[in-house]
Amino acid sequence: MADYTVGDLVAEFLAACGVETVFGIASVHNIPMLDGIGRRNAIRYMMARGEMGGVHMADGYARASNGLGVFFSSTGPGAANAVGGLVEAQFAGSPVLHITGQTATKFVDKELGTVHEVPDQLGMMAAVSKTVYRIRQANQALGVLTRAAVDALTPPRGPVSVEVPIDIQRTKIERPAMLDNFSLPLLPPLPPSEAALDELAARVLTAKRPMLWLGTGAAEAGGAATRLLDMGFGMVSSWKGRGAVSEDNPMNLAGLHGNGMKVITDFYQTVDLMLIVGARVRGQETGDFSLKLPENLIQIDIDPLANGRTYANKYFVSGDSKLVLEGLLKRIQGKTQIEAGYTAEFQKMRQTAQAEFQATLGPYGSFSEQLRKVLPRDALWVRDVTQNNTTWGNRLFPIYDTTCNIYPVGAGIGQGMPLGIGAAAAAKGRKTIAMVGDGGFFLNVGELWTAVQENLDIVILVMNDQGYGVIKRIQDSLQGGRRFFADLQGPDLGELAGIAKIPFFKCTSADTFGATAAKALAVNGPCLMEVDMSQVGEFPPYYPFNVRPLG
């Protein structure tokens, strides 16, 4: 190619990495890169309506595909608008590659008032990215892009930002021959030491009532974890780690960590060993660490910084979770002495806990079961921060695969629909449903037209209580019930769907939720479904806003 530029290299590099879809917004400072994508026509480019939504789309794509999500933003205000999405990708450990432009090299960081100039944009990105890079000369572009993609995909994964100044994007270069047979130089999974595995096995073999707590870092360790459950181990998951082991396994508590549930916390105190595998054990899931876990904790993580970061442990093994559990299995197979009756006791506790929690949900108690019956097993289950997700969405709804479990780990509002759009772009025939509240929906409502323009197969399910329900719960609990600034006025959702020219379905009673969802799921393409919570009934208080603890 006679006029091959760095912009062309960016486009070809992404395709060589196996990226099939990218997201972004065209800008004065990224046109050469997007021109390279358009002329090559090897990658699908989806036009977001805002940078925040676009980064969330790349994040949702990364989670659903278990690969690299890519987003192009403008500089300055555009890059700043992407910050919220990068923060969420950091929380979730999502491999997102954020490529942003920059003013011409001779003007960078000189505060001369050039278009979109933000002093120390790289520093702004560094605050919310795993690593950041600036391409400072054309001949280093391929090396910097390679390093950035490897950083994003290397555990612990996370978002990486790359600045490409506009003059460098336009610079003509010779096409790198190595792109002909290119592959990212990813490191193999980190093996644990044999001595650490021996010590781990010795400690595990003393346990008679063992449990696992699996997190995101154990996503590839599901097969080994399932074998441990078959041997008599119990299990619980972080909300982000759900699906590593199928949640129809009777030894899997899934997202019912026990926070606020006496039947579970009492059981924890009978457990003589808990293996925390690839999990942060977040404050959000443990009542800011007030949840009392078994005293004998052993932690397994690829990141040495995880050692004792939240809960103190008795022993720590550094290594890839799958390799550690497989090494453990080889050493303990046929040697464990699980207490007689422990399996039956765990399963009874699980059934009791699920029933007790479901009983607190009032008219919404059957929603999880109704939706699971009509949703395909491999469907992508995407959620925003809503009362429905905080309760049955995160804790009861069965999930069978980690790539199907997508929600805002950082508990930010308004992220669910763009996460769902990104997930739908990676779905490859799987159905996508995104459950959002009306507050979160209207925060990014413009992205509805991204789904429409791309004709994505997604159901956007709006739980409409005409306000910020989660905020009202906090106000009831901590502000004496003074619900200031929590009511919202919005357009009629059916009329909005009409403007977008997509099908609309409305549920006004609890017993028709599943049937209404089935009709929406039968649509091939985008559609909007509303649950009118004013008709279904007020959502009851849930932990920690219950009058008294559960159980």
Tens of pLDDT, residue by residue over 378-411, are 999 999 999 999 999 999 999 999 999 999 999 8
Q: pLDDT tens across 520-551, in order?
A: 999 999 999 999 999 999 999 887 776 554 44
Helix, coil or strand: residue 74: coil
Whole-model pTM?
0.95
Q: Is 93 within 8 Å of 157 (Cβ atoms)? A: yes
Structure tokens at 464: 């409409």
User: What confidence score (pLDDT) does residue 470 get?
Assistant: 81
The 8-class DSSP code of residue 389 comes to: I
Per-residue pLDDT for 441 more than 80? yes
Distance CA(325)–CA(320), nearest Å, equals 9
* CA gap 328, 110 in Å, rounded: 56
What pLDDT is stored for residue 145 in this prediction? 98
- Taking residues 54-66, what's their average pLDDT? 98
What is residue 543's predicted lDDT score, i.e. its pLDDT? 76
pLDDT surpassing 50 at residue 506: yes
Q: How many CA atoms are closer than 13 Å to the CA of 157, on its beta-carbon side?
A: 26
Phi then psi dihedrals of residue 73, to 5 deg: -120, 170
Q: With bands split at pLDDT 50, 70 and 90, how would you rate the model's confidence at 368?
A: very high
Half-sphere exposure of 10 (CA within 13 A, CB side): 34
Contact 534, 466 (CB under 8 A): yes
Dump pLDDT digits (tens) for 347-360: 999 999 999 999 99
Comparing 205-209, 431-435, 442-446, the range with the smallest average pLDDT is 442-446
Q: What is the mean pLDDT of residues 93-103?
A: 93
Q: What is the pLDDT of residues 443-498, one digit of tens each?
A: 999 999 999 999 999 999 999 998 888 888 888 888 888 988 888 888 999 999 99
DSSP at 358: H
pLDDT in the model for residue 548: 55
Q: How far is CA 68 from CA 23, 125, 402, 410, 542, in A?
A: 12, 18, 16, 20, 36
Q: Is 202 left (phi over 0), alpha (psi -120 to 50) or beta?
A: alpha
Task: Show the DSSP H helices in 307-463 as ranges.
Answer: 321-332, 342-359, 367-374, 387-388, 394-395, 416-425, 438-443, 448-454
Domains of the chain: 6-181 (3.40.50.970), 194-353 (3.40.50.1220), 360-536 (3.40.50.970)
Q: Is 507 helix (H, G, I), strand (E, B) or coil?
A: strand
